[in-house]
Amino acid sequence: MQAVETPRAESPSRLIAVLAAGGFASTFAGRVVEPLVGVLARDLASPPATVALLSTAFALPYALIQPVLGPVGDALGKERVVVACLVVLTLALGACIVADDIGTLFGLRMLAGAAAGGVIPLSLAMMGDRIPIAQRQVAIGRFLVAVILGQLSGSTLAGLIEGAIGWRGVFGLAAGVGASGLCGVALGFARRLRAPGGRFALAPALTRYRAILRTPRARVLFSAVFVEAIAVFGIFPHLAHLIEARGEGGPKEAGLVLAGFAAGGLAYSLTVGLLLRFLGQTRMLMAGGAVSAGALLVVGLAGSWQADAAALVALGLGFYMLHNTFQVQVTEVAPEARASAVALHAFSFFCGQALGVAVMGLGLEALGQLPALALCAAAILVLGLATARRLARAG
């Protein structure tokens, strides 16, 4: 089994800055579609519910590629894999500019999602390798500033500028952001990229996965992020259509509502040190579940888009109180194979995101907005309480 990378000569701040360039680009790419559902439905003559599945087309390959990219990163070098993924992501986004039917756009979003899947999980694994556990939650919180700003910029700018440059122009902007992130990471890791890499072998990778899955704490964490993703992210691609159906606006308003989630996450990133000091990880999980549940109920009431935006600020804060705690803990599940452990974590999370869009679509149709989101609120509340209790005992 390959030894853990332990280079600590570079400062944590420089490492975070380099990784932030790629993290920003990958989340920017993931969020640009959601405010455009109505526009794409009209231009490509497809039902809004079908176009909303473009989020699933990004999230599902992101999830499914994880069991491959994790051990490949452990074997060949995490920096090398992140750079290769950013190259593919940028090319896929550029090709979206000339897509002329919904099928082609689905295919390109799937390719982009698979490529983006190698950026943030491997970045988290690199921070686990090089930043001591006592400093890691704050360090990952700082990295999340870039990740969240990518979400905020992607959803907000897509909604605000679509009227001026069209949805093809939005994808062009996303490709430019991807190219900038690629340059930042490639230059930042230039010396490491020139060093010889290892070799991938299937048998050791499978052995590492079996060892990880035998760990009780790992099973709790993987299950938790699966449920979390369904409960929190299932509603996102449907918000634009729901806001339009209420006669409250279009892509601009949807983009501002979705930006609220990123703003809440940014508030978490800027206050994570204080939250840890006053709450600790256990109470952080309980509070995150409660705040997220309340926010989902407000969205379920289908008030004004301004109320939805305020609720998503609270949802972003509550979600990251949960999710960042899970992220930190998963980096210690298997120190000798961090990329593989984080990859399984991301696999569970994005499978939940992909499934959540379809589950919420069925829930909205069969139950209505408030009952469907009330079930999500109950799930996230129970999750926060249960994981706080289980993770305190799991070995």
pLDDT digits (tens, 9 = 90+) for 109-121: 999 999 998 898 8
pLDDT of 8 higher than 50: no
- 8 Å CB contact between 106 and 94: no
Contacts of 148 (CB under 8 A, 6+ apart): 27, 262, 265, 266, 269, 316, 320
Mean pLDDT over the full length of the chain: 84
User: Could you tell me which of 373, 341, 327, 265 has the C-alpha nearest to residue 27?
Assistant: 265
Distance (Å) of CA 218 to CA 3, 128, 209, 240: 20, 16, 11, 35
Tell me the pLDDT band of 195, cut-offs 50, 70 and 90: low
pLDDT band (50, 70, 90) for residue 296: very high
Handedness of CA 269, 378, 153, 12 (dihedral sign): positive
Please state the length of the chain.
395
Q: List pLDDT tens digits, range 90-136.
A: 999 999 999 888 999 999 999 999 999 889 888 888 888 888 877 88
- The pLDDT of residue 9 is 46
The pLDDT confidence band at residue 193, using thresholds 50, 70 and 90, is low
Element spanning 315, H or E: helix 305-330
Return d(Cα 378, Cα 376) in angstroms, integer. 5
Nearest by Cα to 327 from 22, 88, 23:
23
Which amino acid is located at 79 in the chain? E
Under the banding of pLDDT at 50, 70 and 90, the label for residue 290 is very high
Query: End-to-end distance of the chain based on CA atoms, in angstroms?
Result: 22
pLDDT for the residue numbered 4: 43
Burial class (CB within 10 angstroms; exposed 0-12, middle 13-18, buried 19+) of 44: middle
Give the position of tokens 């705040």.
291
Where does 12-393 sit in CATH, by number? Answer: 1.20.1250.20
Res. 78: pLDDT tops 80: yes
Q: Where are the domains of the chain?
A: 12-393
Give the residue-averaged pLDDT of 42-67. 84
d(CA 238, CA 364): 9
Specify whether the CB–CB gap between 151 and 163 falls below 8 A.
Answer: no
Q: Indicate if the pLDDT at residue 200 is higher than 80.
A: no
CA distances from 37 to 51, 167, 200, 307 (A): 6, 10, 40, 21
Structure-token pair, residue 296: 């989902």
One-letter identity of residue 328: V
**Is pLDDT of 394 > 60?**
no
